[in-house]
Structure 1
């Protein structure tokens, strides 16, 4: 039983179909991660093993962390960089096998760093689905100059095609910094007109908005409500975001 629950806005319990929170694990130790999930795991839906961090840590630690997250009803998944490397090196079969061996129930498919023809990306989504994985796919480039070459209509087309190919969620690229990329300007402020255009053309409950900064999280919650799907949340900010969703901080109190 929690304290002062009578003052809190209720939230849908897991497994949630909306109000999803995706947290970025940048290399937490097992004990640290386990302790964090003991206190905040109920507020986390997806846990991304960032970038290529799974390569530089021992397999038994990765396996133990994956199992621990699943025990908290969290879906752990591999970051898109691993998929992109596997695609580039023509090692997709080995990549899928290793992900299964480590216990990952889901993978991210992206083309943020490696040039992948969109038809190939769609085919890879289908391959991963047929191999038993849940797929989250990401739209956008990590290099801001390349990302700007993608028109808004192209992004929307890609998002809808990737959903049709089997992705359960579409991640809107913002990187860890959330500035000068995708839907955020150089100062990290959301481009509201572009967000509205996306929402008019893509199912909102299928979008996972990367929003690493507090101001970005506040923006989305005030604009779309506390059931908005948010990602790339720092492990340090899990409780902070949950209090924003429940109207327990000055930014959202009385507004949820």
Structure 2
């Protein structure tokens, strides 16, 4: 039978297309283009040959690839990187710091022209440097959303900035109202700011406040560490949107989503959420 224990269809066509087995009962994952269960990868300048090899085998697991910080501005093979992602049906997104620096220097129009000419389709609007007012950020999102997919991030880069749940939720809501396609809850590459304390532990009260007020299919939680990914999947299911994942952690993350790793196996395969 091609069904899961709970009656949901097993994605046999997808697994067979990749030469994968389909005899276990695992949570069903939406095929691309997905609206939930997104995996957002942080690319810190992966050599093109390695990126091509990665996408050849794992592109079906990746929805967004973010070129971190301002590395796109100095990447000599940017157009090749963009072409690889486009061919693999992976949306490439520029890092938010590049946009923040461009805004501070009054060069947003130049950034947009350059990004469009290069073939970039998604931009991150962040305020990690805390240089934008709420009005300026909202105006940027509205303007950029006319031509780009916009991922808008809430949270500061510094670990000494107070984290107030109500303030975060209001900013995330305002970003969606301004036209952002997705809103990002800051965790950085380190996983020690914003959503997390300096030890990397999840600020559960903040996450729960976000979940109460926003549609989770529009929220992407930055979660670079396995412990953070496991916490979020265990709490919200396999269809949770997760970001700032390193390339080498994409396949391990998918095992967490499917209950094929001890950390989530019980929750997802023996009466747990199943990612519904």
TM-score (norm 1): 0.95
Q: Secondary structure at the match of 1:236?
A: helix
Please identify the structure whose Cα radius of gyration is greater: 2
Per-residue deviation, 1:194: 2.1
Asked if the contact 1:8/1:247 (under 8 Å) is kept, the reply is: no
Structure 2: any 5+ residue segments left out of the alignment?
Answer: 1-15, 269-276
- Provide the C-alpha distance between the structure 2 equivalents of 1:48 and 1:26, rounded to a whole number of angstroms: 8
Asked if the contact 1:20/1:45 (under 8 Å) is kept, the reply is: yes
- Provide the C-alpha distance between the structure 1 equivalents of 2:75 and 2:21, rounded to a whole number of angstroms: 41
Q: Secondary structure at the match of 1:65?
A: helix
TM-score (norm 2): 0.88
Q: Secondary structure at the match of 1:200?
A: helix
For 2:57, which of 39, 47, 58 is the aligned residue? 39
Asked if the contact 1:8/1:248 (under 8 Å) is kept, the reply is: no
Report how many residues are paired.
Answer: 250
- Provide the C-alpha distance between the structure 2 equivalents of 1:204 and 1:3, rounded to a whole number of angstroms: 30
Q: Deviations over 1:107-147 (max 9, x none)?
A: 000110241111001000011012x101001001001112x
Correspondence list, 1:110-129, <5 A: 110-129=126-145
1:215 aligned to 2:227? yes
RMSD over equivalenced CA pairs, Å: 1.1
- Aligned match of 1:97: 113
- Aligned match of 2:21: 4
Correspondence list, 1:181-220, <5 A: 181-220=193-232
Structure 1: any 5+ residue segments left out of the alignment?
Answer: none
Correspondence list, 1:69-108, <5 A: 69-108=85-124
